[in-house]
Every structure is written in C-alpha cells, then in structure tokens.
Amino acid sequence: MELLVEQSLNGARQRNLLRSMLNAKVFKFGDFTLKSGQKSPIYIDLRECFGYADLLGLASDGLKSLIEKADTPFSAIVGVPYGALPHATLVSYKSAKPLIIVRKEAKAHGTKKLVEGLYKKGDKVIIIEDVVTTGGSIRECVDILREEGLVVEHVFCLLDREQGGVEKLKEHGITLHSLLNMEIVQTFLLSVGAINDETSANIISALNLPYKEVKHLQVASEMENLASFPLHNLGRLPLEERAKQATCPLNKKIFSLMLKKNSNLCLAIDYTESEKVLQLAEKAAPFVVAIKVHADAITDFSADFTSKLVRLANDHEFIIFEDRKFGDTGNTNLLQLKGSQRIAEWADVVT
C-alpha cells in the first residue's frame, strides 16, 4: 500500500498503471455474477489491457520490477494461458529470458506437446498470471510443469483478488507475489473519486475481502511523467542483469570485466615518464577494470608508448581511460582526438 503514495519511479509506475486501467475501462461497475457464483458490484476485466500498448508496457514493467525485487534465480518464464500470455511475453523479452507456454490440452498433431519452449529437467522457472482468485489454474499449471521435471516455487501476478489464493498456493509449495491487490485497487478508486464509500463497502462485503474499509489517500487522477523521477529509485540490478540489458558495447565490456575480475577499480597513473606508466600498468593490470592516464603530461609520449599500453590492455583485459577533459566545441574536440597524439586510436574512454 505504501507504494501507492510513494514519491518514487516505482510508485509513479503503479499509479500510472491504475490510471491507465481506469481509463481503459478495466474496472467495471454494476451488478455482476462472477465465475465463483458470487454477486459483485465490481468486475475487473484485465483483458481490456490488450487494446492499449502503453498499458501493456506499464504492466510488464511492473511485473519485471516485482520479479527483480523477489531476487529469485530462474531460467525461463511461464505464461498461464491465455490471459497472462501477453504479459509473460513482454516480461520474457524485457528480461532476456526464454518463454514457456503450457497448453490447456496437448496438440493432436505434430509434437503433441503439452509444454512448449526451451527447457531441460531441473530448470527453475517462474510463472506469470494475470489475476489470482483461488489459484486453481496456477496449481494445474504447476503440476504439469513439475511432471516435466521443472522446479516451480514462485508466481507473479498482476492482480490478487485476495480470496484465498495466497494460502492455497502456499500449501502447494508456491509463493505468490502480486503487483496489485483488491485493497490497493479500491483505495485508488476511492481516492480518485471513481467510487464512493458506499460502493467501496459493498465491494468488501460482497467479495468477503480480508479488510473492513479502505482509506482516502492523496492520489491525483492525472498521469505522471516517469522521466522526472531519478533512476536510482529503481534500486541496483545485479551486474549480470545490467550486463544483459546494456546496449552499448563498451558498457557490456566494462560489466563483463567487473564480473570476471571481481573488481570495479580504475587506477589513475599520473607519472610523466612513459616507462614508469607502463611498469605500474603491468603490475596493476590483473586487478583493475580500467587504467587512466594523462597523455599530455607524459614528457616522452610516443606511438611506441601507446602501442605497448594497448598490448597490455589486450593481454590483461582492461579499459584505457584518457583524462584529457575536452571542453571545446564538438568539431574542435574531434580534431583533438585525431590530432598528433591520435587519442581516438588507442583510448577507450576520454573525458
């Protein structure tokens, strides 16, 4: 519940997700008969999400963040057919993990598989579901996966209806993680004026929810600009995940070196003689990710020096960092990089 009013990127994402769901008419009000036979003044139709790309993006971002927060290792993502498949597909793509699909019934032709995807016995997988009521469909899915030799311990869902699913799944050896629950949804709807106190009380009573009332919170109905929130509120991802998500080749190389050397050290060598620079670089090379030099301060700078430095960098795997502090116009900086010291030819990074 704290996330609903938290001034952070994840808090804003949750509020924007709920706002988008409200605008997409995911929350329907009236007299409904649910699958369980219960009468309800609210019906939450998550399949309305499919018509809105931005809404699907918010949902998958939220689920991905929820998975990262759980910090549980997994080899693949399983989508429960059929409502969760779009969400599972997007999270699979954004997490760079394989997608596994469990069919409701085996094909009568072809491979006749019930479980489709890339996996092997002993792999640990997570399940993504759109909505959880009692957890019956999840338990069926888990049984099928376990028969295939897969390890299943965690389920991540968009919405927990808070009608016993957590407890029933726990009995099955499954931990349920939910992005939203009925209390969060009701609190949001009440706070933005989408429902009143009477409707809120009727929902709690009709669905026999595990709380007596919800509070009015200071939540605006307007969408928030996510770009205005600092990225550090996301928390730090493991280096392995940051390396996978990096798109810049240099960043990928730096993450790779940090993991391989178990180091994040950058050594600044401020000697003015090239031989001293090379001697210290050779001693430190196995332990550092980068070595920083000041080429313009080296009195006997030469092409031979940079050739030897590059050879050391290739042999011992480190980044060469030239701390020139360029501060002129773009074109002048370009001329300096290609100038007499040919910095662009041997330095990986310049300031």
Q: Which residues are catalytic?
A: 323, 325, 328
How far apart, in whole angstroms, are the C-alpha atoms of residue 3 and residue 47?
A: 24
CA of 193: how far to CAs of 109, 161, 188, 204, 284, in Å? 52, 21, 9, 17, 63
**Token pair 């931990």: residue:** 175
**Token pair 């519940």: residue:** 1
Scanning the chain, the segments in alpha helix (DSSP H) are: 9-23, 53-70, 85-95, 136-147, 165-171, 182-191, 197-206, 239-245, 249-261, 274-284, 303-316, 330-337, 343-346
Strand partners, 121: none
Picking from 317, 309, 316, 297, the residue whose alpha carbon sits closest to that of residue 346 is 309
How far apart, in whole angstroms, are the C-alpha atoms of residue 251 and residue 254?
A: 5
**Which residues are CB-neighbours of 70 under 8 A, at least 6 positions away?**
154, 156, 177
**H or E segment to which residue 124 belongs:** strand 124-132
Please, are residues 132 and 157 in contact by the beta-carbon 8 Å criterion? Answer: yes
How far apart, in whole angstroms, are the C-alpha atoms of residue 17 and residue 80?
A: 21
How far apart, in whole angstroms, are the C-alpha atoms of residue 289 and residue 266?
A: 6
Strand 319-322: give its sheet, edge to edge: 266-269, 290-293, 319-322, 349-350
**Which residues are CB-neighbours of 229 under 8 A, at least 6 positions away?**
8, 9, 12
How far apart, in whole angstroms, are the C-alpha atoms of residue 290 and residue 267?
A: 6
